Each structure stands twice: as C-alpha cells, then as structure tokens.
Amino acid sequence: MKRISIDPITRLEGHGKIDIFLADDGSVANCYFQVPELRGFEKFIEGMPIEEVPRVVSRICGVCPCSHHLAAGKAADAVYKVDPPPAAKKLRELYNSAAYVHSHIAHFYALAAPDFVLGPDADPAKRNILGIVEKVGVPVAGEVLKHRAIAQDIQIMVGGRSTHPVWTLPGGVSKGITEEQRQDIVEKAKSCVEFAKFSLKLFEDVVLGNKAYLDIILSDTFEMNSYWIGTVDEKNHVNFYHGDHRVVDQNGKEVFRYKDHEYLDYISERVEKYSYLKFPFLKKIGWKGFVDGPESGVYMATPLSRLNAADGMATPLAQAEYEKMYSTLGGKPVKKLLATHWARLVELVYSAERLLELAQDPEVASPNIRTLPTATPEEGVGIVEAMRGILTHHYQTDKNGLVTKANLIVGTTNNNAPISMSIKRAAQKLIQPGKEIGQGLLNMVEMAFRLYDPCFSCATHSLPGEMPLIVEVKDPEGNVIHREGR
Amino acid sequence: MGNSILSDDGVGIYAAREVRRRLAEAGRSADADIVESEVAGFALMELMAGWEKIILLDSIQFEGLQPGTVIRIEPEDLHTSLRLRSVHDIDLPTALELGRRMGLDMPARLTIFGIQAQDALTLGESLTEAAERGLKETVELVLQEIRDS
C-alpha cells in the first residue's frame, strides 16, 4: 500500500498530519487526519479561580483568543449564576463582531483567495498573499490591511488587548467604552461594511465570474451530506454570541435545538486510537463511523454550517447576500463545501453590519457593565461561535470558585471527522491510477482541508511558521517517490 | 516571541526578559528596546515596521536538532521560496516581504536566534532543562550582538 503524507514539518514526530494511503493500483484506500493537542490544560487551570480562566484560556491560542475569552466568560457567568447587564452583553458581542471582521478578512485574502484569484494550480511561489497583492494591486491590498487593522483597533479599545483580551468578568466586563469611543467605532464600522461589500464583489467578479472556478465549487469533489450546526437567535437568524444551538439535517430541517447547559445531551465525543483529538458526534443519532447521511451522527460546524442551520441573517445586506448564495447554489442546505468561502464572506458582511448596529446603540457606552455575582459558584457552560466552528467551555468549581474540572470542545474538533472525510473524498476523486500526482493536484486535496480554516488546538507558533505542510508520496515499500513542501 | 504559558514555546520571551534584566543591571537599558510578543503573521509585520534592526528570539522545532540547541537564522534561511506556510496567517519571510511591498518601513537587518524546544505542547510556565540551557546561551549571544551593533 502506498502512503501520501501531508505533514506539518514542525510536527515530524507524528502529530498534525494528513496521511493518504494508496492501494497498489494507485487509488486512494484510506485517509487519516491527525492533529496535535495541547497537554495538561485541565491540570494547568485546576485550582485556578474561575474568574481568572477567561484571560488564561485566551492565551492558549493566538488564532481565536477572543472566542475562547468569551466562551470562558459566559461559562464563568453560568458558574456564578449571574446575568450580565444588557450593556455588557452588547459590548461582548460588539467585540466579537470586530474579531470576526479581523479573522474573516485575514482568512479570505491570505488563505482562501490565493487558490481562486491565482488558481489552484498556480505556481506555489506566487500562490500566496504576495501573489494577491500583485494581482489586485497595492491600493486594494492596502485596504485589506487597513480594515484588518481597524478591526484590531476596536478590539484593543474595547477588550484592553487585541490578541489576548483581559476583560470579561463573571457578570459582565471590567471596563466600558466612552461616548467618544462609541462614535469612533461607528465610523470604523461603516468603513468595514463598505470593505465587506467590496470583498463580496471581488469574490463575485473573480470567482463566480470564472466558469472554471465555479465548476470546481459545484463539483462533487468537495461535498458532504452531514448534519449542520450553528447558533441562532429567536428568529432563527445566525448569531455568533448567544442563542440556541440548532442542528439541521441533510434536508435543512431542524432536528435538535439546545441551550448551552444542555450540550452533553446532544454532543458526545469518540476517541480513535490514532489521533489525540476526539471526534464529536450527535449523541441522539450515534456514531456510525466516517460516513455521512441521516444515519450517521457526523455534523459539521463551519461558516457554511451556520448559514445552513439558520433561516437567514439578522442584518439587511447580509440577508441579501445569503439569499443570493442559496439561489445561485440551488437552495438549502448547500452541501458544496468550497461554498464555505462564500459563506465566510456573507458572515463578514454580517459581522461588519452587526458591529455598526451595536456601535450605533447608545447603551454600549453605558457605565452599567457588571452585575456583581452573589451566588455560590458551582458549574457552568459557555458556548459561542468561534470563527471556525461552535466552541464549548464547561467548568466545575468548588464553593470558593476554584476550578475542579474543565471540558472544552473547540471549533476544529467539531470538524475532526468531516475534515478526514473531506480529504478522503477529494483524494479519491482527484488521485486516480496512472495520473501524475503533482503539486497542483495535491493543493486541490489540501483545499478540502483549508476550507475549514482549521485551528490545531491553539498549539505552538514556534518558527519556522505555523503549520507548514509537507506532502510525501510513498511507494508500497515506504520509499518517498514524490515530495512537495509548502 | 512565544507563548509564555506553553512550556518551551515561551523560551524566547523568557530569554528577552533576562536580556532586559542584564542590560538594566549594566546601566545599558537604552541600548535596545525589548518587546515581548505573542503574535505572528500580519500582526508581527506591523510590529516590526519602523525598527532599524531586530533581533528575534523564538523557540524552534527543527528536525534533527537536539533540544536546547541554539542556532542563528537569517530570514532567507527559513525557506527558499515565498510560499504559504501557515493555515492561519502569513509566515515571517512573507510578512517581511509584504510589509516592504506595502511601503512599510521594514527593518533592514533581522537576525533570529532559535532555541530548539523539547516540549512546546504542555501548558506550563516553566522550561525544560534543555530549553533553560538554550536560554542561557542565547542571552549571551544576544548581549554580544547588541554590543556589536
């Protein structure tokens, strides 16, 4: 049996890699996706006061620290059975919206766009952000960096720090914003809305306007017939900070709906001996292996999932884009996974509009930002939508509020089984007996993985970079016959 | 650079703190600005803009190196072509090049000291013995580099 390894070179000891096993005839036999996982999290925070946890968990990750901070903050509210005042909730959501703008801009322009703006089989030396700058020009690239920076400035203004916030407290937040800051955010948010619109226009012109790219999106190489999960408000519109967590089936029909504290009734986790990372699945459907369809409890948690699991968007421009996406792609749910990039841009518009809406609400400048907790702390669950999937934090404490037990299901963990299945499917469709395995083809396999915007458990950013990948093709004896680095 | 609550991943941060202490002890705090950073990619690009020379300290995980080994790296050593190396953000050489193309005042000189990590996956605020040795060696190398600048 041949083996193709897509290895991050910082993890050559066996963590964090994609293994594609080829049968003797050259077809894909199987595929495994392994990721590194931080060790000792529970031990590290054991004995820590619950109010300290949000600022510690935000520092286990440089990719979605805001999401960890807010999920832990909501869990800490629940541990103390305290409901933050409206201004605090709005500020948290405002902060989260800015973080989404920041993250989705970076993902689209630096990570997704190179495959589409430059082409999946473009020279890898140019298939990156520098190639994008060359293609779209320095002024447009300047706008990309400007709005990423604006979103970051808002996070610093509101949350104290950009990357590692130190701000939520049980019952609210540690500081509010002034009226002057609120007005500043309004202006910044208006600019973000315009930039989000521009980004969707760019996607339409460059990607949807190119039949070859549209064909790739619509091909059956990148699709999944799983359940879909996302958080919705009372009108079943997408919400990233609060609401019910809704699961829809392969026909888009709601099958489950749960609140933060009920997650253990709906989500279960399976361990596979080859991976450190667990495989969550829908408990009431059950684990049937790495297969999709109604009998399998595999669910997906991505921007596309959130849109599939909702009935619409809560803001007008995003709603129009949502309708356009579904009418173009043939209705709900969309199962073509590369549409996740499109969904991410619809979410970018929503985040920017929501940021503006919240900033225009005078209440966000209210000084009433904290309800002091008075109950005895016990146990709590906090769930938010991290950019790359639903994020669950669950803590138990003693009566002094010191953590005794923690459980986290992070964004990418939800997608552990779908990522494996997507890579396998793409590899099976693309790698054919007798067909040369070149870097363009392997990049297409990787596209099945990158669309998830996967986050590897907030692991190290040791040089030479974060998660570089190496692709190795091995013959039946295990000899490397082809090697691609990226 | 590094994550100071992730064992050896934080060795660059700890080394920088020691350099700061040693400079202050010698009354030479003005010789260098010590900046601790837990960011990478775009944010690092912005952070690096405006400095004439940067000495970057970070943990490394290179194949075949003994834990605690300290190596000096020039940015061009990291890889030979500007490729996408990250699933989340841009890597260091790309960050430098992007900054230049965007007209930012990127440092003319950048030297990296990498300390091979033994354990960069366990949450904790202490280093392994190997990384501790690497830290001591790095501090001397950096102080020398600052003296020579």
A443-453 tens-digit pLDDT? 788 788 888 88
pTM to 2 decimal places? 0.89
- HSE at residue A92, side-chain half, CA atoms within 13 A, is 33
Distance CA A338, CA A213 (A): 10
Burial of B47 (0-12, 13-18, 19+ CB in 10 A): middle
Instruction: With CB atoms and an 8 Å threshold, state whether A163 touches B43.
Output: yes
Do the domain assignments include residue B42?
yes
Tokens (6 digits) for A47 = 């004995």
Q: What secondary structure does DSSP assign to B8-73, as a single string?
A: GGGHHHHHHHHHHHHHHHTT-GGG---------HHHHHHHHTT-SEEEEEEEE--TTPPTT-EEEE
Which of A128, A144, A408, A455 to mutate to test binding with chain B, by most B CBs within 10 Å of its CB? Answer: A128
Do the domain assignments include residue B1?
no
Which residues are CB-contacts of B22 (< 8 A; sequence separation ≥ 6)? B139, B143
In chain A, whose CA is at the least distance from the CA of B76? A464
User: Which has the minimum average pLDDT: A283-287, A329-333, B87-91?
Assistant: B87-91
Distance CA A26, CA A476 (A): 10
The string of pLDDT tens digits covering residues A73-95 is 999 999 999 999 999 999 999 99
Tokens (6 digits) for A142 = 């300047």
pLDDT band at A15 (very low <50, low <70, confident <90, very high): very low
pLDDT band at A460 (very low <50, low <70, confident <90, very high): very low
Q: Is A382 helix (H, G, I), strand (E, B) or coil?
A: strand
In chain B, whose CA is at the least distance from the CA of A148? B42
Do the domain assignments include residue B131?
yes
Can you give the CATH number for the domain in which B93 is found?
3.40.50.1450
Give the pLDDT of residue A467: 42
Instruction: With CB atoms and an 8 Å threshold, state whether B1 touches A465.
Output: no
| CATH class of domain segment(s) A83-223+336-371 | mainly alpha
Instruction: With CB atoms and an 8 Å threshold, state whether B86 touches A467.
Output: yes
Mean pLDDT for A393-418 is: 92
In chain B, whose CA is at the least distance from the CA of A463? B60
pLDDT at A63 over 80: no
Give the pLDDT of residue B53: 93
Instruction: With CB atoms and an 8 Å threshold, state whether A41 touches B98.
Output: no
Instruction: With CB atoms and an 8 Å threshold, state whether A128 touches B90.
Output: yes
Question: What is the amino acid identity at position A90?
Answer: K
Could you give the angle at which helices A138-159 and A179-203 cross, rounded to 10 degrees? 140
CA–CA distances in Å: residue B53 to residues B32, B33, B41: 10, 11, 18
CA–CA distances in Å: residue A5 to residues A20, A31, A442, B81, B97: 6, 10, 11, 21, 30
Distance CA B89, CA A37 (A): 19
B88: chain A residues, CB-CB within 8 Å: 63, 106-107, 111, 453, 455, 466-467
CB A353 within 8 A of CB A316: yes
Instruction: With CB atoms and an 8 Å threshold, state whether A110 touches B101.
Output: no
Q: pLDDT tens per residue, chain B (149 residues)?
A: 888 888 898 999 999 999 999 999 999 999 999 999 877 778 888 888 999 999 999 888 777 889 999 998 877 776 533 333 445 567 778 888 889 998 899 998 988 898 999 988 788 889 999 999 999 999 999 999 999 88
In chain A, whose CA is at the least distance from the CA of B85? A468
Q: Does A114 touch chain B (CB under 8 A)?
A: yes
A40: chain B residues, CB-CB within 8 Å: 122-124
ipTM of the complex: 0.79
User: Which A-chain residues 46-75 have CB contacts (< 8 A) with chain B?
Assistant: 56, 59-60, 62-63
Give the pLDDT of residue A425: 92
Instruction: With CB atoms and an 8 Å threshold, state whether A464 touches B92.
Output: yes
The radius of gyration of chain B from alpha carbons, rounded to an integer in Å, stands at 15
User: Which A-chain residues 141-200 have CB contacts (< 8 A) with chain B?
Assistant: 141-142, 145, 148-149, 152, 162-164
User: What is the number of structural domains in chain B?
Assistant: 1
Distance CA A468, CA A477 (A): 26
Tokens (6 digits) for A396 = 């138990």
User: Using omega within 30 degrees of 0 as the cis cutoff, is the peptide bond preceding A333 cis?
Assistant: yes
| Residue ranges per structural domain of chain A | 2-36+432-485, 83-223+336-371, 224-335
The string of pLDDT tens digits covering residues A261-275 is 999 999 999 987 766
Instruction: With CB atoms and an 8 Å threshold, state whether A463 touches B81.
Output: no
Do the domain assignments include residue B2?
no
The DSSP secondary-structure symbol of A372 reads P
- Domain carrying residue B19: 7-148
Residue in B4, B81, B92 closest to A463 by CB: B92
